[in-house]
Copies of this chain bind each other. A is one copy, B any other.
Amino acid sequence: MSNITPAEHLAEVLSRFEDAPDSRLAEIMKCAIRHMHEFVLEVGLTREEWFAGMKALADIGHMCDEKRQEFILLSDTLGVSMLVEMINQMGAEGTTEPTVFGPFHVEGATPRQMGDSIVVDAMDADEPLTILGEVSSLGGGPIEGATLDVWQAASNGFYDVQDSRQTPLNMRGVFTTGADGGYEVRTVRPVSYPVPDDGPAGALLHATGRHNWRPAHVHFVVSAPGHKTVITHLFDSESDFLDSDVVFGVRDSLIVDMNGGRCDYDFVLEPTA
């Protein structure tokens, strides 16, 4: 090869994957490589910019440990995580809309009776809230035996796993519906909170003129036999940042009235084929 073009160079790189034993890995890598090459060409990346990017990636990696995954935070703040949920959770019209899972879910939260509270550690700023409604099947009736895995940040803006002052599993609970499909969760009104900005992902947000806040929300994973699981939030309609969620998770249908200590919301699940 001599004086080859960028297109010829790309073709050569892609051709090296012909013998890849894992065809899905090869497909993913070839698509990623094509987009990386197109990116370099479209912005006319200088060697100094490329090197700055290499350094930034290493810095992000060095911020990752058992408790902190800075690449996930970056993926969240660039809308990539939400896009992955959109295409993986895409549901039928009329079902509850999905949103991001987030990094703060914990397996094995306490099973609770309908009407129980998820508040273990009361805080001065707590404003009591009951979230209630029905879990139903799209085009069908109420679902018995549906599970609602619920979690949220405490009134100080931190999840239990971020905050050693909280009792483990504070603000978490797993509820199972009875024959009427109804659910009732006692909690406190959620608060908006910032995602961590003490690492490279936060530095990038601020360097590009963005804030690092999420609007107030409660997380739900709702699942039932014979139905698609939905991972979602309910957002407080009076929260700040509904129009600028740093991780792009807000959907109109998930914004609900939480005034007067009560929030009504019905979940609709899609039957599996």
Q: When the two chains form their complex, are residues A87 and B40 in contact, meaning their CB atoms are under 8 A apart?
A: yes
> Quick one: closest B residue to A204, CB to CB?
B29
Smallest CB separation, A243 vs chain B (Å)? 10
Q: When the two chains form their complex, are residues A43 and B27 in contact, meaning their CB atoms are under 8 A apart?
A: yes
A158 interfacial by beta-carbon distance below 8 Å: no
Smallest CB separation, A197 vs chain B (Å)? 15
Smallest CB separation, A78 vs chain B (Å)? 5
Q: Mark A221-238, 1 if CB is under 8 A from B, else 0.
A: 000000000000000000
> Quick one: closest B residue to A42, CB to CB?
B31
A21 interfacial by beta-carbon distance below 8 Å: yes
Q: When the two chains form their complex, are residues A46 and B78 in contact, meaning their CB atoms are under 8 A apart?
A: no
- Asked whether A50 and B31 contact (CB < 8 A) given A1-B251, A248-B13, the answer is no
Smallest CB separation, A180 vs chain B (Å)? 28
Name the contact of A35 in the complex, choosing from B26, B39, B250 (C-beta under 8 A): B39
> Which of the 9-residue segments A52-60, A112-120, A138-146, A184-192 touches chain B?
A52-60
Q: When the two chains form their complex, are residues A9 and B204 in contact, meaning their CB atoms are under 8 A apart?
A: no
Give the bracket for the number of chain A residues in contact with chain B.
35 or more
- Counting chain B CB atoms within 10 Å of each CB, which of A1, A59, A85, A93 scores highest? A1
- Asked whether A1 and B83 contact (CB < 8 A) given A45-B28, A208-B17, the answer is no
Counted per complex, copies of this chain come to: 2
A70: B residues at CB distance < 8 A: 58
Smallest CB separation, A32 vs chain B (Å)? 6
> Quick one: closest B residue to A81, CB to CB?
B50
A106 interfacial by beta-carbon distance below 8 Å: no
- Inter-chain CA distance A20–B206, complex, in Å, is 9
Name the contact of A57 in the complex, choosing from B19, B41, B57, B82 (C-beta under 8 A): B57
Q: When the two chains form their complex, are residues A21 and B209 in contact, meaning their CB atoms are under 8 A apart?
A: yes
A252 interfacial by beta-carbon distance below 8 Å: yes
Smallest CB separation, A100 vs chain B (Å)? 11
A97 interfacial by beta-carbon distance below 8 Å: yes
> Quick one: closest B residue to A46, CB to CB?
B88
Q: When the two chains form their complex, are residues A248 and B45 in contact, meaning their CB atoms are under 8 A apart?
A: no
A272 interfacial by beta-carbon distance below 8 Å: no
- Asked whether A207 and B39 contact (CB < 8 A) given A1-B252, A251-B4, the answer is no
A122 interfacial by beta-carbon distance below 8 Å: no
> Which of the 9-residue segments A61-69, A147-155, A163-171, A256-264 touches chain B?
A61-69
Smallest CB separation, A56 vs chain B (Å)? 9
Cross-chain pairs A/B with CB under 8 angstroms, 15 sampled: A9-B79, A9-B83, A17-B208, A21-B207, A22-B207, A31-B42, A36-B78, A37-B79, A45-B84, A45-B87, A57-B61, A57-B71, A58-B64, A58-B70, A60-B61
